[in-house]
Amino acid sequence: MTRGQSHQGDNNASSMPQTPKYAKTSADGRDIEFSEELADAADLEAQARSEAADRRAKS
């Protein structure tokens, strides 16, 4: 680098300019796919605990 030039951070990763809005993470931070048909008891229990934690966090 020469005199007068400063290090500028890359803003590309933070803005994701070519990523469509539907592909970005939703407002609540959850970006998962879940199939009820393939869920076992542990999956259903984990989902219930996650929903309970979300309710506690929002209240």
pLDDT tens by residue, 5-50: 666 666 655 665 677 777 766 556 665 676 778 888 998 899 899 9
**Which residue in 55, 29, 50 sits closest to 39, CA to CA?**
50
Question: Measured between alpha carbons, how far is 33 from 20 in angstroms, rounded to an integer?
Answer: 18
30-42: pLDDT as tens digits: 656 767 788 889 9
* Residues shown for the chain: 59
**Which residue in 22, 33, 29 sits closest to 53, CA to CA?**
29
- Positive or negative torsion for Cα 33, 37, 40, 41: positive
pTM over cut 0.75: no
> Residue 59's pLDDT band (boundaries 50, 70, 90)?
confident
